[in-house]
Chain A
Amino acid sequence: DIQMTQSPSSLSASIGDRVTITCRASQTISSYLNWYHQKPGKAPNLLIYAASSLQSGVPSRFSGSGSGTDFTLTISSLQPEDFATYYCQQSYSTPLTFGGGTKVEI
C-alpha cells in the first residue's frame, strides 16, 4: 500500500493568513493526488484533484501543487469557513489511501 504522510498534523492560524499543508507519498504517484476538507460531523468535500485542478465551485484561494512524491495544498487567505481538517488521497494505485489529516484551527 502507498502510505500518505501529512504535515503538520495540526496548525493554528488567523483569518487572512496564508496556510500551507504538505503531503508526502511513500512512492512516486505522478499527479494522482487529491485534496479534501472535512468539517466536524460532515462528509469530506473535494477541493483539488489531479494535484492542481480546482474542483468546480471551490474558491480560488485554494490551490494545489506538486508531483511525484511531494505535494502542497495552499490557502492564500484563510477564511472562517476554512477551519476544518484537510486530507490528501492518492489515486495512483489501489488500495486508495488517505493521509492522516491536518486540522486547521484558529
Chain B
Amino acid sequence: QVQLQELGPGLVKPSQTLSLTCSVSGASVSSGTYYWSWIRQPAGKGLEWIGRIYTSGNPNYNPSLKSRVTMSLDTSKNQFSLNLTSVTAADTAVYYCAKLIRPQWYFDVWGRGTLVTVSS
C-alpha cells in the first residue's frame, strides 16, 4: 500500500522560499513506474496542479508557476521535493503530494496535505 506524507514548515515569510518534501512508502520513486506530483488548494477554493516529476526526463511545471518552481527526486531517501521561490500571501494553501498514473494521468494516491501560510 503506497502512502505519501508531506513534510515542511507551516509558516514562510513573504519573498522567501517554500520548501516541502514528500516521503513515499510502499513504492520507489526511482522505479520509473509512476510520476510524482504536487497540487495545492487555497482555503475554500479549488485545486491547482503545480507540476510532476519522473525518474527520467525533466520535470513538467504549471506555466503559471514555472518561473518560481523546482521539483526534485531524492532516491536515497525515497522522497521528492518542492521549492517555490519568492512567495506571497497568494501562495498560502494546503499543499498535497500525489502519485500520478500514466497514460491517463490521474492521481490515485494522495498525501494528507500540509497547510503552508505565507506571513511575516
Interface residues of A (CB under 8 A from B): 1, 32, 34, 36, 42-46, 49-50, 55, 87, 89, 91, 94-101
Contact = CB atoms under 8 A, between A and B. Distances in A.
Contact of A43 (B49, B62, B113): B113
Contact of B112 (A36, A43, A50, A97): A43
Interface of B: 46-49, 52, 60, 62-64, 96, 101, 104-108, 110-113
A22 to B, nearest CB: 16
A43 B6 CA distance: 12
Nearest to B37: A96
24 contacts: A1-B63, A32-B105, A34-B104, A43-B110, A43-B111, A43-B112, A43-B113, A44-B96, A44-B107, A44-B110, A46-B108, A49-B101, A49-B108, A50-B104, A87-B46, A89-B107, A91-B106, A94-B60, A95-B49, A95-B62, A96-B105, A97-B49, A98-B48, A99-B46
A60 to B, nearest CB: 18
A46 B106 contact: yes
Interface of A is mostly: loop
A91 to B, nearest CB: 3
The 5 A-B residue pairs with the shortest CB-CB distance, nearest first, are: A91-B105, A43-B110, A34-B106, A49-B106, A96-B49
Most buried by A among B101, B106, B107: B106
A98 B46 contact: yes
Given A43-B96, A95-B63, A49 B104 contact: yes
